[in-house]
């Protein structure tokens, strides 16, 4: 890749998402932290949006930083929005999502139970970025989550793992490297293409009955690769490539979850398909 393309990609993404720091600036200030917008356990879902939304951060993310863009975006549109921390490692503050994915799914189950009890809702919708778009599938498939989740929306999810642009294929050439990865950062090892965890997760099909699935991918993803591995197959699945909606959207893996209002618009469509409006480049400025 030419160096100028490395510069233009994030620059174009930032231009597309300029509204995230200009148009909704007052909203972001009002709802940019759990104490002043989301994770409000007194929030009661409305008739228009009867299900609370649970946001699930990605690897190395946390319940606040990962959602400074999307949480206010959904909150101002009338949703009750909640986010959790999961996958914490002892002695590692702020950077979560590193523990075993199976254990993290149990944390998600407990959090959803808490949200449903507080809001009185029968079901929730789940939106996750990266690992956060994949991990809930374990909860749905093995921990009874299908009875409590109406829809799962994954933004750049690691559904079938990643080869990190081929880097993980080098692990066998470094004796002990894979074991070291699994011991110190289990979630990273779990997300390597072909891992035991992913083999179990995807055995027998990607989906479970009764849940709607949406995958929002970007062709410029440099973390979950190849990007088509993010897609799901099965009933109730909708796979979306951002560049089919907005050809000039150059967001990569991190930006698509943090700032990309084109992606956010498609998340809103997935949460409320009955009121969905076409997603275009102009959606960045709504």
Taking only the tens place, the pLDDT of each residue in 1-60 is 443 344 444 444 333 433 333 334 333 333 334 444 899 999 999 999 999 999 999 999
Cβ distance 232 to 207 under 8 Å?
A: yes
| Dihedral (Cα; 267, 243, 285, 14), 10-degree rounding | 110
Note the pLDDT of residue 32. 38
> Could you give the domains of the chain?
53-285 (3.40.50.1820)
* Distance, CA of 219 to CA of 251 (rounded, Å): 9
| Dihedral (Cα; 220, 66, 86, 150), 10-degree rounding | -80
Note the pLDDT of residue 175. 56
Smallest Cα–Cα separation from 160: which of 187, 135, 126, 194?
194
Note the pLDDT of residue 37. 81
Note the pLDDT of residue 168. 57
Note the pLDDT of residue 146. 97
Triad 67, 159, 265: Cα angle to 5°: 40
Burial label, 279 (beta-carbon count in 10 A; 0-12, 13-18, 19+): buried
Task: Look at the block and give the residue holding tokens 């909860």.
Answer: 139
Task: Look at the block and give the residue holding tokens 């400025």.
Answer: 285
Query: 0.95 cut: is pTM over it?
Result: no
Task: Look at the block and give the residue holding tokens 């979850």.
Answer: 257
Structure tokens at 218: 């970007």
Cβ distance 269 to 276 under 8 Å?
A: yes
Cβ distance 235 to 211 under 8 Å?
A: no
* Distance, CA of 231 to CA of 241 (rounded, Å): 9
Task: Look at the block and give the residue holding tokens 């300029």.
Answer: 18
Other Cβ atoms less than 10 A from the Cβ of 216: the count is 30
Give me the residues of the chain with pLDDT under 50, please: 1-36, 167, 169-171, 173
DSSP of 25-83: HHHHHHHSSGGGTSS-TT----SSS-S-EEEE--TT--TTGGGTTHHHHHHTTT--EEE
């Amino acid at each position: 890749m030419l160096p100028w393309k490395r510069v233009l990609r994030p620059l174009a993404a930032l231009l597309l998402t300029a509204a995230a720091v200009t148009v909704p600036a007052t909203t972001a200030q009002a709802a940019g932290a759990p104490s002043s917008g989301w994770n409000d356990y007194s929030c009661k879902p409305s008739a228009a949006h009867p299900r609370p939304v649970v946001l699930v951060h990605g690897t190395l993310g946390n319940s606040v930083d990962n959602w400074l863009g999307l949480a206010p975006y959904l909150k101002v549109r009338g949703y009750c929005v909640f986010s959790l921390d999961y996958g914490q490692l002892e002695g590692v503050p702020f950077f979560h999502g590193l523990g075993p994915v199976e254990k993290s799914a149990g944390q998600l189950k407990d959090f959803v139970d808490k949200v449903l009890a507080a809001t009185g809702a029968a079901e929730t919708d789940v939106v996750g970025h990266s690992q956060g778009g994949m991990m809930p599938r374990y909860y749905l498939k093995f921990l009874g989550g299908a009875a409590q989740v109406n829809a799962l929306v994954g933004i750049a999810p690691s559904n079938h793992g990643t080869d990190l642009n081929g880097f993980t294929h080098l692990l066998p050439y470094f004796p002990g490297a894979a074991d070291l990865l699994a011991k110190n950062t289990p979630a990273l090892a779990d997300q390597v293409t072909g891992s035991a965890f992913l083999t179990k997760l995807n055995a027998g099909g990607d989906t479970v009955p009764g849940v709607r699935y949406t995958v929002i991918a970007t062709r410029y993803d440099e973390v979950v690769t190849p990007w088509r591995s993010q897609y799901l197959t099965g009933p109730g699945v909708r796979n979306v490539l951002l560049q089919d909606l907005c050809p000039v959207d150059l967001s990569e893996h991190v930006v698509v979850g943090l700032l990309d209002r084109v992606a956010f618009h498609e998340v809103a469509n997935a949460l409320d398909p009955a009121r969905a409006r076409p997603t275009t480049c102009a959606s960045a400025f709504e």
